[in-house]
């Protein structure tokens, strides 16, 4: 093959090849993360009487909370801290075991490095 044959414009034979389908650009819709979900997680509330499972045992917290009153997670954390449970000084999240009516605090671990 010589150089001139390579430079010839495309013939009908070349155009008969099926065209590759063009890839369409997908437009990403800008959606904000569900801010309401985060707000609802922070606003979880529990009605006393519930038990608090702390340090591998259920703790008596009847002297801290009033029966029938609804408490948010922040209020529970603050009340426990005021009554000498210093584990609640950091970031605390709660898991609730509905069958046993038990509130399990989960503390954030601070890691070095």
What per-residue confidence (pLDDT) applies to 112?
A: 75
Q: How many CB atoms lie within 10 A of CB 61?
A: 19
pLDDT digits (tens, 9 = 90+) for 5-41: 667 665 555 555 566 666 665 555 454 444 444 445 5
User: What's the CA gap between 49 and 59, in Å, rounded?
Assistant: 12
Give 39-97 pLDDT, tens digit per residue: 455 578 999 999 999 988 999 999 999 999 999 999 999 999 999 999 899 899 999 99
**pLDDT bucket at 1, cuts 50 / 70 / 90:** low
Question: Beta partners for 52?
Answer: 59, 103
Dihedrals φ, ψ of 72, to 5°? Answer: -85, 170
């Amino acid at each position: 093959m010589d150089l001139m044959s390579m430079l010839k414009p495309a013939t009908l034979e070349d155009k008969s090849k099926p065209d590759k389908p063009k890839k369409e650009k997908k437009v990403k819709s800008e959606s904000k993360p569900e801010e309401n979900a985060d707000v609802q997680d922070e606003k979880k509330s529990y009605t006393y009487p519930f038990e608090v499972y702390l340090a591998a045992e259920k703790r008596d917290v009847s002297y801290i909370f009033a029966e029938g009153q609804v408490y948010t997670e922040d209020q529970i954390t603050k009340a426990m801290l005021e009554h000498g449970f210093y584990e609640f000084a950091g970031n605390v999240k709660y898991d609730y075991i509905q069958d046993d009516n038990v509130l399990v605090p989960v503390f954030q671990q601070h890691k070095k490095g």
